[in-house]
Amino acid sequence: MKKQFMRAKQIANQSIGRAEKTEISDKLQQIEKKSEAAKKSLSTVVKVFVPYINGTGVDKEKRLRKNHASHLGQSLQDCTANLPSDSVLKSVVMDLGTALNEVGKLQVNAEANIDEDVVIPISNVLENDGAAKAKKRLSGARLDMDSAKSRLNKEKERSSGSVNMVKLKTLNDEYENNEKIFNQAQDGLAIEHLQFLSNETMVASSVLNFVDHQMLYLKEAIAVYEAFRPSIQKSIEQSPRKKVFGVTLTEHLQTFKREIAVVLEECIKYITENAMETEGLFRITGSASQMKLLRAAYDGVGSIESILDERDFIPGIHSIAGTLKQYLRELPEPLMTHEFYDEWIDAAKYSIVACYNKALYMITDPQERLQELWRVNRSLPKENYENLKFLITFLATLAENAEINKMSSSNLALVMAPNLLQSSLQGLESPTSQVHFNEITSAVQSLIDHCEWFFQEDCV
């Protein structure tokens, strides 16, 4: 109790400047400053890591319940319960959910490993640090030493005339003993700080462990996604529920495993069976709402057969024809192709140079012109050629009823040509397409008028 009283008294005297306070050595202060900075950094590292790994000292089952990837995977799988079994979205989301569940397990393993090899070792370094106790011992030793020094100095001043050698010796011995304890306490604190700093390499190795565990987790997670990606891609590629409008002819035919585009085949079949004698086909505008519905059916389920079977929905024939034109117009690459645009134009206005009375004349030779058109037509890619053949054959049949439906080959060419051939520059609104409108129309009309010749397989 006496020692505690003396320490409290010394603190009070030092706080009001009535007693001196021995300073800690500069060397110890430098070591302590470096050590405290390292402790602060390590404490921050632990605080950052713990929430990142969903806590420290937590078993894997609890980690899994907190894991975001596992939560997401399970939620994705649950949300597909009401989707039909043949839904591509169901298949894709189920695969992704399974992949996320596997990734979640990998992440939990990584978290547990990081906890064991990174967080716990660093935490142990902080928890086993004896500097706080050593600093407390040093503080007490300094107070004891300063208190003994103060009593010794006061006794010297009080007994300046008659020195009490016994008491002075006792106080001096007490001071020297406390000074020795103080110096030992300084050394003890320095040892604790230096021992803490000696863990730097071990701590750095723990950080490297984090890198290794993260690399392994990411590598394994990528492997999981790589394993599931082909299945997801296959489901998408094999799904018939793909958009039809605005998709290239080649992609559409590959997706639906067809030779003729579904819009051409279904719309032409419907018109052939129901409306070959309807006046103004492809010229009269159809119902905008019906055309939107027909388009939505194609893009949604890849066919209009399901809605045509509904008794409550009987589309106008002009809506069917308008949908066909819209499909052709929105092809990224027109049926007669951008590539052969110039060749179609040149063939449509084909002329030969003739000499008469020493003068040159441009003479249009119908047979030569048709032969040039035939050459361009046969140069088309196979899928374009086959679909153009299917369409032109239908238009030629339609033109045979021109007296009734008022759609001659020239009328059909006028309304269909802009949807079959455009310049690659600006589509239908291209100045080039406008300038060459007559040539484009003429080329299409020639195809209709001479359909059998153009598409006869053994024609040479």
- Domains of the chain, CATH where assigned: 2-236 (1.20.1270.60), 249-455 (1.10.555.10)
Question: Hey, how many other C-beta atoms are within 10 angstroms of the C-beta on 68?
Answer: 11
* 328 membership: H or E segment, kind and range: helix 317-329
Asked whether 261 and 249 are in contact (CB, 8 A), the reply is: yes
Tell me the three state secondary structure of residue 270: helix
Q: Which DSSP letter does residue 24 get? A: P
The DSSP symbol for 412 reads: H
Name which of 57-61, 72-76, 115-119, 330-334 the model is least confident about.
Answer: 57-61
Is the C-alpha dihedral spanning 43, 45, 46, 48 positive or negative?
A: positive
Predicted confidence at residue 457, as pLDDT, reads 66
Band (pLDDT 50/70/90 cuts) for residue 181 is confident
For residue 251, count other CB atoms closer than 10 A to its CB.
12
Does 186 or 219 have the greater pLDDT score? 219
Q: What is the mean pLDDT of residues 271-298?
A: 93
Closest CA to 195 of 280, 252, 131: 131
pLDDT at 310 over 80: no
Q: Which residues are CB-neighbours of 140 under 8 A, at least 6 positions away?
A: 7, 185
Q: Are 4 and 147 in contact (CB under 8 A)?
A: no
How many Cβ atoms are within 10 Å of 297's Cβ, its own excluded? 20
CA torsion sign for 443, 446, 448, 451 is negative
Q: How confident is the model at residue 135 (pLDDT cuts 50, 70, 90)?
A: confident
Strands 352-356 and 359-363: antiparallel
Q: What is the pLDDT of residue 403?
A: 94
Note the helical H segments in 261-315. Answer: 262-274, 288-301, 305-308
Place of tokens 């021109």: 402
Residue in 166, 151, 153, 138 with CA at minimum distance from that of residue 28? 138
- Confidence bin at 454 (pLDDT 50/70/90): very high
Q: Smallest Cα–Cα separation from 337: which of 259, 409, 249?
A: 249
Q: What whole-number percentage of the chain has pLDDT above 90?
A: 41
pLDDT of 17 strictly over 60: no
> How many Å apart are CA 144 and CA 155, to the nearest integer?
16
- What's the average model confidence in pLDDT over 210-236? 93
397: pLDDT confidence band, cut at 50, 70 and 90? very high
Q: Is the pLDDT of residue 400 over 60?
A: yes
The pLDDT assigned to 183 comes to 82
CA torsion 243→244→249→254, rounded to 10°?
60
**Burial class of 226 by CB neighbour count within 10 A (0 to 12, 13 to 18, 19+):** exposed
